[in-house]
């Protein structure tokens, strides 16, 4: 199924590489790990339905999939096997032909044929797989290779005398071998992305492709065939208009340029600094810049010129212009929306539209902004908050019933009670006063509103009168009075109490603030 084998994100990337980066179909196929015919088919489908780049902002992944891949009836009939002799001949006669392309041609002639995985398995059983070594040719402005040097450089803390290792990042342009290097405290995602950004600023332009190793900072799921990039790394590539092609594990030929650049950096930079002491990262980077500049100006041994001369002649004119604004570091997180329609980001909770409860969404967050994305479409954004624990809630994200409930407050509740009757007001005041927490009393007072709708204002006022008379400040008491019909019975009359017996050991009535009253039944 196209949606399963080629996710919408991959299709968006194919369209971007074609329209924005202007790569050829073969290059796009290599980057996205699909057949050239697949790339052609996606581009043809997009053109057939009138999709232009950039895609509309309101076009989410579900709409894109429905537009490009309308439902089709399942194929029926027999499942004939292909002619593997012809397949093998096609592969040997033309190295541009792939199994993916041959399988697609087979499926066009035999719609009910076997699927791609079985096709490959049957062919491997039929013949041995031949590994073809490809000699790479680097065109101007096409590739930037990145890696870390194997050796670190110690930096001394002047306050404590302790040493801390600094890692050396290296970036090399493919055509000119022009090299950039810097030291960072870590090799984590933050420093990895920051080093890439400073590399592009040093080269004064962006190449078409970036070739890293399958380092965990940039590749979240390493794989020989289809590595999955970290979303922040992919976000950085999208911002700068480049494509990222991780090298295959244990294939040094995929990144021979940076391997050579790392070797030269270790010889001409790291080794040259082995006898020097550094007391800050800035001091170390200043020394690295001087030695890297010397390396770039050093004449080639077997070729005329130097790295900087080739850079000015080949790479620099071919590099794409950098965006006006530098990339803002952003992290991504997959999370499922809770029942309170909030998602948690580093201890703080941010609201989403209540319709997303239970769905898995993506959160992109920077130092100042939190964006909530569902199926490729931004559905909410909040200013980043450092309050932990805390909540940032957009009122429009609540359901209508929740919004109506939150519009009420104790003052408005008392005003509403006044429209019912005086003793309803006194009952609500008693709820707010006698409950251990005002919020609990307020919620109990809100429970009078459905009772008014069910029994009417007159009966609720009578029930509240009886509850106030007996000081029964609980909503359950009013409900019980209404259910039993006590509100429709006359209240007992209050009469003065029997005069007290006078005795020297008994306190008189003057001892109390008010004369005692006693309630007797008629």
pLDDT tens digits for range 446-484: 889 889 999 999 999 999 999 999 888 888 999 999 999
What pLDDT digit, counting tens, does each position of 355-379 carry? 888 888 889 888 889 999 888 888 8
pLDDT exceeds cutoff 50 at 515: no
**Are 235 and 293 part of one and the same domain?**
yes
Cα torsion angle, 37, 42, 44, 45, sign: positive
Asked if 446 and 452 touch (Cβ cutoff 8 Å), the reply is: no
Is 509 within a domain?
Answer: no
Tell me: do 286 and 149 sit in the same domain.
yes
**Per-residue pLDDT tens digits for 66-79:** 888 775 444 444 56
Residues 95, 214 within the same domain? no
> Domain check: are 359 and 413 in the same one?
no
Cα 396 to Cα 399: distance, rounded to the nearest angstrom:
8
521 has a pLDDT exceeding 90: no
What is the 8-class DSSP label of residue 395?
G
Residue 249 domain boundaries: 143-318
What CATH code is carried by the domain that includes residue 157?
Answer: 3.30.420.10
CB proximity list for 470: less than 8 A, separation 6 or greater: none
Note the pLDDT of residue 6.
47
pLDDT at position 303, please? Answer: 66
What's the pLDDT tens digit per position in 261-314? 677 887 888 888 888 999 999 999 999 999 999 999 988 876 678 899 989 988
Q: Is the pLDDT confidence value at 130 over 50?
A: no
Residue 513 has pLDDT above 50, yes or no: no
Residue 268 located in a structural domain: yes
Is 442 inside a domain boundary? yes
Is residue 157 domain-shared with residue 232, that is, in the same domain?
A: yes
Residue 154 shares a structural domain with residue 254: yes
Q: Is 71 within the bounds of a domain?
A: yes
The reply to whether 302 and 377 lie within a common domain is: no
* 325 located within any domain: no
Q: What is the structure's pLDDT at 5?
A: 43
Q: What is the percent of the chain where pLDDT is above 70?
A: 78
Mean pLDDT, residues 54-67:
82
DSSP β-bridge partners for residue 333: 363
Please give the pLDDT value at position 222: 52
Nearest to 430, CA basis, from 482, 455, 466, 405: 466
Examine the domain organization and report whether 216 and 308 are in the same domain: yes
Give dist(CA 432, CA 204) in Å, integer: 68
Q: What is the DSSP letter of 307?
A: H
Domain's final residue, options 253, 288, 318:
318
- Number of domain units in the chain: 4
pLDDT, averaged across the chain: 80
pLDDT of residue 162: 93
Distance CA 491, CA 488 (A): 9
End-of-domain residue from the set 126, 158, 174: 126
| Same domain assignment for residues 94 and 205 | no
Q: Is residue 505 scored above 80 in pLDDT?
A: no
Report the C-alpha gap between 6 and 43 in whole angstroms. 13
Burial class (CB in 10 A: 0-12, 13-18, 19+), 284: buried
Structural domain contains residue 328: no
Please count the other Cβ atoms lying within 10 Å of the Cβ belonging to residue 45. 15
Domain shared by 248 and 170, yes or no: yes
Q: What pLDDT, on a 0 to 100 scale, did the predictor assign at position 414?
A: 85
- Span 388-409, pLDDT tens digits: 888 888 877 776 665 555 555 6
- Average the pLDDT over 245-258 and give the result: 60
What is the 8-class DSSP label of residue 347?
T
Which two structure tokens, joined as six digits, stand for 502? 């006078």
329 part of a folded domain: no
Residues 160 and 272 in one domain: yes
Give 278 or 512, the one with higher predicted confidence.
Answer: 278
| pLDDT for position 204 | 93
Claim to verify: residue 298 and residue 206 sit in the same structural domain = yes
**Is there a domain that residue 133 lies in?**
no
């Amino acid at each position: 199924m196209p949606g399963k084998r080629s996710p919408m994100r991959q299709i968006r990337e194919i369209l971007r590489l074609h329209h924005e980066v202007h790569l050829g179909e073969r290059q796009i196929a290599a980057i996205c790990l699909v057949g050239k015919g697949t790339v052609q088919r996606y581009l043809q489908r997009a053109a057939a339905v009138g999709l232009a780049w950039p895609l509309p902002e309101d076009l989410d992944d579900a709409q894109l999939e429905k537009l490009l891949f309308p439902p089709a009836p399942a194929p029926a009939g027999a499942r004939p096997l292909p002619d593997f002799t012809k397949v093998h001949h096609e592969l040997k006669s033309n190295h541009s032909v792939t199994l993916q392309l041959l399988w697609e041609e087979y499926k066009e002639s035999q719609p009910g044929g076997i699927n791609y995985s079985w096709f490959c398995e049957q062919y491997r059983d039929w013949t041995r797989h031949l590994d073809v070594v490809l000699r790479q040719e680097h065109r101007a402005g096409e590739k930037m290779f990145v890696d870390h040097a194997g050796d670190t450089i110690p930096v001394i803390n002047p306050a404590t005398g302790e040493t801390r290792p600094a890692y050396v990042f290296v970036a090399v342009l493919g055509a000119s071998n022009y090299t950039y290097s810097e030291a960072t405290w870590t090799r984590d995602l933050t420093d990895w992305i920051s080093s890439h950004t400073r590399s592009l600023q040093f080269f004064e332009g962006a190449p078409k492709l970036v070739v890293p190793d399958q380092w965990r900072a940039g590749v979240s799921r390493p794989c020989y065939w289809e590595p999955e990039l970290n979303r922040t790394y992919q976000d950085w590539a999208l911002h700068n208009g480049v494509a990222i092609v991780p090298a295959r594990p244990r294939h040094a030929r995929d990144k021979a340029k940076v391997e050579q650049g790392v070797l030269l950096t270790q010889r001409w930079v790291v080794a040259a600094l082995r006898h020097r002491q550094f007391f800050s990262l800035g001091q170390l980077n200043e020394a690295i810049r001087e030695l890297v500049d010397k390396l770039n100006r050093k004449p080639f041994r077997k070729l005329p010129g130097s790295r900087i001369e080739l850079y000015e002649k080949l790479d620099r004119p071919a590099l794409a212009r950098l965006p006006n604004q530098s990339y803002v570091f952003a992290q991504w997180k997959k999370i499922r929306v809770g029942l309170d329609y909030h998602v948690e980001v580093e201890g703080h909770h941010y609201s989403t539209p209540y319709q997303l409860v239970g769905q898995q969404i993506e959160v992109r967050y920077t130092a100042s902004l939190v964006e909530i994305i569902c199926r490729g479409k931004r559905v909410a954004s909040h200013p980043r908050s450092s309050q932990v624990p805390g909540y940032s809630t957009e009122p429009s994200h609540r359901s209508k019933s929740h919004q109506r409930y939150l519009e009420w407050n104790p003052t408005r509740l008392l005003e509403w009670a006044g429209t019912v009757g005086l003793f309803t007001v006194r009952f609500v005041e008693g709820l707010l006063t006698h409950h251990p927490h005002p919020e609990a009393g307020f919620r109990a007072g809100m429970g009078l509103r459905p009772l008014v709708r069910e029994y009417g204002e007159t009966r609720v006022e009578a029930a509240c009168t009886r509850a106030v008379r007996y000081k029964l400040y609980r909503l359950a008491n009013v409900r019980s009075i209404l259910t039993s019909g006590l509100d429709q019975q006359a209240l007992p009359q209050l009469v003065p109490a029997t005069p007290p017996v006078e005795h020297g050991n008994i306190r008189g009535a003057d001892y109390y603030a008010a004369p005692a009253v006693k309630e007797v039944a008629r």
